[in-house]
């Protein structure tokens, strides 16, 4: 696990709970496998992102293996407020993982929304929405064992076909002391179907803790529309931020300055080439022609990418 513990928890007033209490829409970078790592979090924070999540980490591996801790979790002083998302199915394992990251992060999130087959087969992710007592038990354990009152414990869920079950889950989680709930407005079977924002609105009206809306938010205008439609206290964005890391600052497409910032940050962090290149492919999707994509997407070294950006965009 990398990171200088000094000051990583952030400045006073930077706790996630304070963000929600401030009364304005909280703009959040979602947990994304491979993508929402330290370098990318550093980038989106420059463009009005209020709160970032790590990629999902399997708590049992994290607790058991120093190697997993080093590869899965990296942070630094500027990386706050930060939520570490865990996949877990046992209360004590989640507590042990939370205790490890507590000095370096501002909260943990329990993944109850991942619909991938491997996660559900292992008892992780979205199958937990059908086990409200287990979710309650895990939240309660962390609450009881972490003595920092500012440390948040949140959950991220998908919705049930029968929304009453989702409302019941959320009310039980609220009663156990969960800090907020992120709701991806689709059920486990749905992938690209329209998001059920009406369901998020019903959930928001059923609890008194903050609710974060997630799903199909591509622009700042989308974020504001979803906020008005649902009453949600925050919005969480994944693909929209990959395509345009500056979206929360109001840019319709990735500005060249943001591409320049990514190059500088990625090189400074020693980001592996594949990750560095993939982010650029996403960021440049809307601003490059088909012909340019054919050339850019097959570049195979950092120096080739830097030469291309310099020659075509003046980014160096």
For residue 228, say whether it is annotated as part of any ligand binding site. no
Exposure of 76 by Cβ count < 10 A (0-12 exposed, 13-18 middle, 19+ buried)? middle
160 is in an annotated binding site: no
Which one of 29, 114, 127, 170 is the catalytic residue? 114
Catalytic residue check, 114: yes
Q: Please check if 31 is assigned to a binding site.
A: yes
Say if residue 85 carries a ligand binding annotation.
yes
33 is in an annotated binding site: yes
Which residues are annotated as catalytic? 114
Bind-site residues: 31-33, 85, 184, 238-239
Bind-site residues for FMN: 31-33, 85, 184, 238-239
């Amino acid at each position: 696990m990398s990171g200088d513990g000094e000051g990583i928890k952030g400045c006073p007033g930077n706790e996630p709970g304070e963000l929600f209490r401030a009364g304005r829409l909280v703009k959040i970078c979602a947990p994304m496998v491979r993508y929402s790592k330290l370098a990318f979090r550093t980038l989106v924070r420059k463009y009005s992102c209020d709160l970032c999540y790590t990629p999902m980490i399997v708590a049992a591996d994290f607790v058991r293996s120093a190697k997993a801790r080093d590869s899965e979790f990296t942070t630094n002083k500027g990386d706050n407020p930060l939520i570490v998302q865990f996949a877990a199915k046992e209360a004590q394992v989640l507590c042990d993982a939370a205790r490890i990251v507590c000095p370096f992060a501002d909260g943990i999130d329990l993944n109850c929304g991942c619909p991938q087959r491997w996660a559900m087969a292992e008892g992780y992710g979205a199958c937990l929405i059908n086990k409200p007592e287990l979710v309650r038990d895990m939240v309660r354990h962390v609450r009881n064992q972490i003595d920092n009152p500012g440390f948040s414990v949140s959950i991220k869920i998908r919705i049930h076909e029968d929304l009453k079950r989702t409302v019941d889950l959320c009310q039980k989680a609220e009663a156990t002391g969960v800090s907020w709930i992120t709701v991806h407005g689709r059920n486990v079977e749905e992938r690209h179907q329209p998001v059920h924002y009406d369901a998020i609105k019903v959930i928001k009206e059923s609890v008194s803790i903050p609710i974060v809306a997630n799903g199909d938010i591509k622009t700042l205008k989308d974020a504001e529309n979803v906020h008005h439609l649902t009453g949600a206290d925050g919005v969480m964005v994944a693909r929209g931020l990959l395509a345009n890391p500056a979206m929360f600052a109001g840019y319709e497409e990735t500005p060249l300055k943001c591409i320049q910032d990514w190059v500088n940050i990625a090189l400074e962090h020693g980001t592996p080439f594949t990750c560095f290149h993939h982010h650029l492919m996403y960021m440049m999707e809307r601003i490059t022609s088909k012909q340019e994509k054919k050339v850019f997407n097959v570049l195979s070294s950092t120096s080739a990418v830097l030469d291309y950006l310099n020659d075509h965009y003046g980014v160096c």
